[in-house]
A and B are shown apart, each in its own frame.
Chain A
Amino acid sequence: MAFSMAGGGPSGPQINVTPLIDVLLTLIVMFMLVVAMDSEYGEKVQIPQPPKDQTSEPAVERTVVIQVVWTAKDTPPTVKINQEDVRWEDLELRLAQIYLKRAEKVVFVRGDADVDFLYVANVIDLAHHAGVQQVGLMTQGQQVAGE
Chain B
Amino acid sequence: MPNQSQRSSKLFSGIDATAFASILVALLFVVLIAEGMTYNPHHGVSADLPKVMHPVPMPGALRKDVMQVCIMRDGKVYFGVERIDAFALQAKVEDRTRDRGVERKVYIIVDQRARWGTVKQVLDAVRSAGVIRVAFLVDQRRGPIPMR
- Residues in chain A within 8 A of chain B (CB atoms): 3-8, 15, 17-18, 20-21, 24-25, 27-28, 31-32, 35, 39-49, 68, 76, 88-89, 111-122, 124-126, 128-129, 137, 139-140
Interface membership of B35, Cβ < 8 A: yes
Complex: how many Å from CA A3 to CA B12? Answer: 11
- In the complex, are the beta carbons of B17 and A41 less than 8 A apart? no
Q: Most chain-B Cβ atoms within 10 A of its Cβ — which of A32, A39, A40, A125? A: A40
Q: How far is the CB of A109 from chain B (nearest CB, A)?
A: 10
Q: Could you pull out 7 A-B pairs where Cβ atoms are within 8 angstroms?
A: A42-B61, A45-B135, A47-B134, A49-B132, A116-B114, A117-B110, A125-B55
Interface of B, secondary structure class, is: mixed
Please tell me if B116 contacts chain A, counting CB pairs below 8 Å. Answer: yes
Interface-located stretch among B77-85, B96-104, B138-146: B138-146
Q: Which residues of A contact B18 (CB under 8 A)?
A: 15, 17
CB distance from B97 to the nearest CB of A (A): 14
Tell me the minimal C-beta distance from A25 to chain B in angstroms: 7
A20, A31, A41, A129 — which one has the most chain B CB atoms within 10 A of its CB?
A: A41
**Majority-rule SS of A interface residues:** mixed
Give the chain A neighbours of B56 by CB distance below 8 A: 41-44, 128
Q: How far, in whole Å, are A21 and B16 apart by their CA atoms in the complex? A: 12
Chain B positions within 8 Å of A41 at CB level: 55-58, 137-140
Contact B111 A117 (CB under 8 A): yes
A42–B107 touching, CB < 8 Å: yes
Whether B113 pairs with A117 at a CB distance below 8 angstroms is yes
Contact status of A121 and B17, CB under 8 A, knowing A31-B32, A45-B134, A140-B120? no
Least CB distance, B94 to chain A, in whole angstroms: 15
B54 and A42 form a contact (CB under 8 A) = no
| Extra contacts besides A47-B126, A113-B117 (9): CB < 8 Å | A7-B11, A8-B14, A39-B58, A42-B138, A119-B147, A121-B52, A122-B145, A125-B52, A128-B54
Find residues 27-84 in chain B having any chain A CB closer than 8 Å to their own CB.
27-28, 31-32, 35, 39, 41, 50, 52-59, 61-62, 71
Complex interface: chain B residues within 8 A of A116 (CB): 112-116
Distance in Å from the Cβ of A111 to the closest Cβ of chain B? 4
Question: Smallest CB–CB gap between B48 and chain A, Å?
Answer: 9
